[in-house]
Structure 1
Amino acid sequence: MAAIENLVAARKSLKISLEKSKTLAFALEKVGPRLEEIHQRLPSLESAVRPILAQKDALVAVGGHIDRAVGPAAAVLKVFDAVHGLEKPLLSNPRSDLRSDLSVVKRLEEALRFLGDNCGLAIQWLEDIVEYLEENSIADYRYISNLKNSLKNLWDLYSYEERARLDGGLLEDALDKLESELRRLLTENSVPLPMTSSTLGEKPCIALSPLPVSIIQKLQLILKRLTANNRLESCMSIYVEVRSSNVKSSLEALGLDYLEIPISEFNDVQSIEGYIGKWGKHLEFAVKHLFEAEYQLCDDVFEKIGPDVWRGCFAKIAVEAGIISFLQFGMMVTESKKDPIKLLKLLDIFASLNKLRLDFYRLFGGKACVQIQNLTRDLIKAVIEGSCEIFWELLVQVELQRQTPPPANGSVPKLVSFITEYCNQLLGNDYRPILTQVLVIHRSWNQERFEERLLTDAILNIVKAVELNLETWSKAYEDTTLSYLFFMGNHWHFYKHLRGTKLGGLLGDAWLREHEQYKEYYAALYLRESWGKLPALLSREGLILFSGGRATARDLVKKRLKAFNEAFDDMYKKQSNWVVLDKDLRGKTCQLAVQAIVPVYRSYMQNYGPLVEQDASAGKYAKYTAQTLETMLTSLFQQKLMTRASSKTRHSNGKLNNVDVATNQFCSASTVM
């Protein structure tokens, strides 16, 4: 019994011990996390306690280090907070209050300048604290390591994109908006110059600026801020793009497609000479109206930045707007095939450039316009050399024409009419001063002196060569009568078309009278050797006192009328292809023929016509009436309709109304021209 009781007691004791163990295990399970937490906090507690273990002098000194570092760091943080406070006004639309926005941008620049100057200093002070803590074992090494990593990250951020991101890119966004506003102000206020039919004829009357003063002031304010932030190149690019596009639009309204004609599309100046006159007017308009205005505007807008900047902008605007195309067109003319018309066109080009000489020097004289200067210099040189070359070769080309046959119809050779009018133009008020200036310049390049007689002697020699050509050509006619008609027409052409002209004045009155007399002389020879021979065929010999009766008289009249008709028909047929170009001379020559024949024929038919008119074959002998002969004779020497149509004048400006054939013949005389 006692043993059982002991077992029960032991069982009870064990049960109690088991319950206690479970309770203890549960308690230990709850205490475990707390112990782990305490374990984790021990390093920081150790670090916190570390200063207590440090030397007293080190603890005292650390306070000064902390004070020196915290001040700059706090100031930096304060400014950084202020920067982000500017974000809202900076990202607003600049056009609402430009001056206020520019003021905010300036404040941001100042804040960033402060941050840029002081962030590095604050980081250095913080590095000093860390170094002090490490050297004096005041802080835990892990804590020191974390501080060093943080400072390294600060240095990296500070150096990122050369400190440009201290504001997180806020300034860049604000500057982008200012650039957009700059473009908007320029675009909305740049209007192409309106073109009217009288625009090119107007004298240049330029306003102080193509843009309102208020807009220029806004542009200057924007440029000031953008330039302060190294965005001048971007501003210049925007300005040049907008303004050059505006100038180009103004020029396009003039119709300048001809400036793009490639040299391969034409062989000579005649194919584009109509454009050369336009070229001079368009170039003058572009320089005096458009480029002059852009020059002044560039000065106004960029004046506070510097002359090199605004002159550089103007140079780019001029190039992009098309000044180079004008100069290249002029060069294309100088490179074309040489001919006399080209000389006049080259002189026109020189006159246009010379008229704009001072404008070119002022507008394009700076180093920024070197390309324009070089092209202009090359063009002037090519114009002068080309003009002189053609002028001095004119005599040779006239002499080469001597080898060609004269006109088959005996008219004035087109070379003669061309040269007389051409030389008159060279001596006229329009071209003589220009040609003289060109010759003076060209001779000065060769260290030679120009004398006025060189020009006049050259012209006189050309006229003498034409006269010698006429002598040579007259000998080429097999029909002597035609050569007389040829001489008559050409001498009259000289007299009539040179009298009262510059060339006529140079040749002199005696020279003109001589040609008038030659005209009369050859007219008399022509009449004597042609129509003047026919009246003798209507002789009355044997008809007044004829003894053979009426039948004999009739036979004699028939014979003489037949001879007259045959001679008249032959001569008329031959001369119906001859031409006298001058209307007055043609009428006078026809009248001389009429006076030589018709009165004699009328009288003859009145007296002896009845002898054959009753004959069955009367129509064979009384072939013409006096009126018919007069009508036929007065219709001679007319230029045929086909020939007239093929000789259409090329010019309507009253300067040189020569025909294509004349110029083509003159130009084809040599491969040189």
Structure 2
Amino acid sequence: MASSMGNANKSCIDNLIAARKSLKLNLEKSRAIGLALEKIGPRIDEINQRLPSLEAAVRPIRADRDALLAVGGHINRAVAPAAAVLKVFDAVHGLEKSLLSDPRNDLPGYLSVQKRLEEALRFLGDNCGLAIQWLEDIVEYLEDNRVADERYLSNLKKSLKGLRDLQIDREKVHLDGGLLDAALEKLETEFRRLLTDHSVPLPMSSSSALGEQACIAPSPLPVTVVQKVQAILGRLIANNKLDKCISIYVEVRSANVRASLQSLNLDYLEISISEFNDIQSIEGYIAQWGKHLEFAVKHLFEAEYTLCNDVFERIGLDVWKGCFAKIAAQAGILAFLQFGKTVTESKKDPIKLLKLLDIFASLNKLRLDFNRLFGGVACVEIQNLTRDLIKRVIDGASEIFWELLVQVELQRQSPPPPDGGVPRLVSFVTEYCNKLLGDNYKPILTQVLVIHRSWKHEKFQERLLVTEVINIIKAIEQNLETWMKSYEDTSLSNLFAMNNHWHLYKHLKGTKLGDLLGDSWLREHEQYKEYYATVFLRDSWGKLPAHLSREGLILFSGGRATARDLVKKRLRSFNEAFDEMYKKQSNWIVPERDLREKTCQHIMQAVLPVYRSYMQNYGPLVEQDPSSSKYAKYTVQTLEKMLSSLFQQNPGRYGSFKGRQTSGKFEVVDLRRTASAMV
């Protein structure tokens, strides 16, 4: 039993020892684990910090299987358009060097490159939005299916929003960095250069040769230049630059027309109504105006009309006609029309009627050209100004013509010329009426009067024109009768009648007006001239020989003293009568040279033979007298010289009826206007 107890104790001790060893071993392990845990703690903290990102990276693995399988296709479809856009974008930048070069070096090549740029930009413009939309769709898919990290998706959304904003805000500028605008600017410069370098003012030999100026070529620009200009236009218009093209074209071509007109010295077109007093001050300009206007229309504007059609015909009728209208307006057609209007606004004057007819003739000559060149909506301003000018011309000319008779009758109240000459009114009206009935003015005046009457729905017949002119001449005759009676000196009245009847006969014989008045009318005035010439000579110089009577002159010795006294007395009487008549008539005139010479000859024939005979027979009786110079005052030669110098027309003698003859065209300075007469 003791043995069994001993064995039992030993077994317990062994167990305790074993337990102690085991505890000791576990304690050491625990210490080792504790030390290990103490060392791994920082790494665990690091792992804890990386867990969110790891979780995000692992999240797609946890996404829906179908979503994971479909995401690849969506990504490929979104990236492909974006890649294509990027490829084209790179190609755009590859064109930069060519498009920044000078187009004149190779214009066809430059235009071809620019067209490629435009096509690329159109592709980018059409596809950038599509590519962005695809990218936005894939982002939305990733977000909906929780396939991607939220922060990544947020950054991607921000980038896509920036692209979308750039697309909306001037897309092309941002797509090409302003390359297209730079290229278009270079094309505009080349467009201007081509026009400027080949726009040469039309040379003119002289202003007087305008009518003979040869017509210029249908197009002022060479065909090759027109083709280049059209090619540039095509590209500029494709980029909404039509207005800019027209602006450049109008600027260059209108300047060229102005340069062509500059040598003509057209400053007179700017004359205002306040810068001249009457029509005579600008009469010469009106003649120039007609030539200059015809030259401008038929040569310059005709050429511009053709060129506009050549350059812009592919764009449309309205475009090229509108372009031409701007050129015409800027080049000076409006100034021509304004000058005509200024003439119509000047004071009424008979000469103004002729000038208005000249203006009408010029406009009528160009009527078809005006209708063709300036017809249509684009030239409405030119049309309105032209119609207004024509109406003013017709109204003004008609008004002056129908007032002529009244104005002639009003002149009847004015006094006749104190020198017995031909009143300015008479010489002017005869010449004036002949002009109106001449081949140059009668057709024009008839047309003007026909148009004016048609506006009033009245008919006009040519006989009305002829009748009115004849009535004006009859009014002149009545004026002459009235003026003849107003002279206090009968001899002066006779001289006046002689002068004026001869003037009417001489200046109307063989003329249109003379033919209308008839041969009997002309012969009547010729006979009146003869009659009044005879009466004038009889009642004035014809009375002088009576002072040299031979009655009572006995030359025998006893009567010599008595005869000497009678000769002295009669010579004194003759001298006094001669001096008085010569002094008075030395202020009278006979304007027509032939009539003046004939009248002086008749006077000398009436006086000189009698005086010569008297002095030959009785002159010796007084020549020995100490005071002989008082009686034998004149020699025959002296009297002949004095009488032959009578009735000379001195400059300025007509006063307000003064006129001048210049270059075959009659000009009137004043028509002795009354307050109610022409003003």
TM norm structure 1: 0.92
- The Cα shift of 1:45 comes to 3.9
Give, as a single letter, the amino acid of the residue that structure 1 aligns with 2:304: E
Secondary structure of the corresponding residue to residue 169 of structure 2: helix
Q: Deviation digits for residues 404-448 of structure 1, max 9, x if unmatched?
A: 111011111111111111111111111111111111111111111
Asked whether the equivalents of residues 534 and 564 of structure 1 are also in contact (C-alpha less than 8 Å), the reply is: yes
Check if 1:633 corresponds to 2:639. Answer: no
Check if 1:358 corresponds to 2:364. Answer: no
- 1:126 paired residue number: 135
Check if 1:48 corresponds to 2:57. Answer: yes
- The Cα shift of 1:349 comes to 0.6
Check if 1:421 corresponds to 2:427. Answer: no
Asked whether the equivalents of residues 410 and 677 of structure 2 are also in contact (C-alpha less than 8 Å), the reply is: no
Question: In the aligned structure 2, how far is the partner of 1:276 from the partner of 1:43?
Answer: 100
Give, as a single letter, the amino acid of the residue that structure 2 aligns with 1:50: R
Question: In the aligned structure 2, how far is the partner of 1:96 from the partner of 1:330?
Answer: 49
- 1:495 paired residue number: 505
Change (3 A) 1:567 1:222: same
- The Cα shift of 1:276 comes to 0.7
Asked whether the equivalents of residues 190 and 246 of structure 1 are also in contact (C-alpha less than 8 Å), the reply is: yes
- The Cα shift of 1:659 comes to 4.7
- The Cα shift of 1:536 comes to 1.4
- Pick one of 372, 381, 395 that aligns with 2:382: 372
Give, as a single letter, the amino acid of the residue that structure 2 aligns with 1:443: R
- The Cα shift of 1:617 comes to 2.3
Size of the aligned set, in residue pairs, is 642
- 1:97 paired residue number: 106
- Pick one of 550, 562, 567 that aligns with 1:557: 567
Secondary structure of the corresponding residue to residue 665 of structure 1: coil
- The Cα shift of 1:362 comes to 0.5
Bigger shift: residues 58-67 or 441-450:
58-67
Secondary structure of the corresponding residue to residue 488 of structure 1: helix
- Matches for 1:207-606 after TM superposition, within 5 Å: 207-543=217-553, 549-606=559-616
Question: In the aligned structure 2, how far is the partner of 1:222 from the partner of 1:430?
Answer: 51
Question: In the aligned structure 2, how far is the partner of 1:41 from the partner of 1:326?
Answer: 92
- Matches for 1:92-171 after TM superposition, within 5 Å: 92-161=101-170, 163-171=172-180
Question: In the aligned structure 1, how far is the partner of 2:45 from the partner of 2:78?
Answer: 38
Determine what percentage of the aligned residue pairs are the same residue: 74
- Pick one of 51, 69, 73 that aligns with 2:78: 69
- Pick one of 610, 615, 632 that aligns with 2:625: 615
Asked whether the equivalents of residues 187 and 232 of structure 2 are also in contact (C-alpha less than 8 Å), the reply is: yes
- The Cα shift of 1:653 comes to 3.1
Give, as a single letter, the amino acid of the residue that structure 1 aligns with 2:510: G
- 1:670 paired residue number: 676
Q: Deviation digits for residues 158-177 of structure 1, max 9, x if unmatched?
A: 11125443222111111111
Secondary structure of the corresponding residue to residue 324 of structure 1: helix
- The Cα shift of 1:594 comes to 0.5
Bigger shift: residues 641-650 or 157-166:
641-650
Q: Runs of 5+ in structure 2 lacking a partner?
A: 1-35
- The Cα shift of 1:46 comes to 3.5
Asked whether the equivalents of residues 576 and 636 of structure 1 are also in contact (C-alpha less than 8 Å), the reply is: yes
Q: Deviation digits for residues 318-354 of structure 1, max 9, x if unmatched?
A: 1111110010000000001110111111111111111
- The Cα shift of 1:200 comes to 1.0
Change (3 A) 1:550 1:668: same
Asked whether the equivalents of residues 339 and 667 of structure 1 are also in contact (C-alpha less than 8 Å), the reply is: no
Question: In the aligned structure 1, how far is the partner of 2:437 from the partner of 2:52?
Answer: 111
- Pick one of 155, 159, 174 that aligns with 2:183: 174
Question: In the aligned structure 2, how far is the partner of 1:41 from the partner of 1:655?
Answer: 115
Q: CA RMSD in A?
A: 2.3
Change (3 A) 1:40 1:545: farther
- Matches for 1:75-94 after TM superposition, within 5 Å: 75-94=84-103
Give, as a single letter, the amino acid of the residue that structure 2 aligns with 1:65: H
Asked whether the equivalents of residues 425 and 655 of structure 1 are also in contact (C-alpha less than 8 Å), the reply is: no
Question: In the aligned structure 1, how far is the partner of 2:632 from the partner of 2:85?
Answer: 131
- The Cα shift of 1:64 comes to 2.2
- The Cα shift of 1:528 comes to 0.8
Change (3 A) 1:572 1:518: same
Bigger shift: residues 557-566 or 322-331:
557-566
Give, as a single letter, the amino acid of the residue that structure 2 aligns with 1:127: E
- The Cα shift of 1:237 comes to 0.5
Change (3 A) 1:503 1:363: same
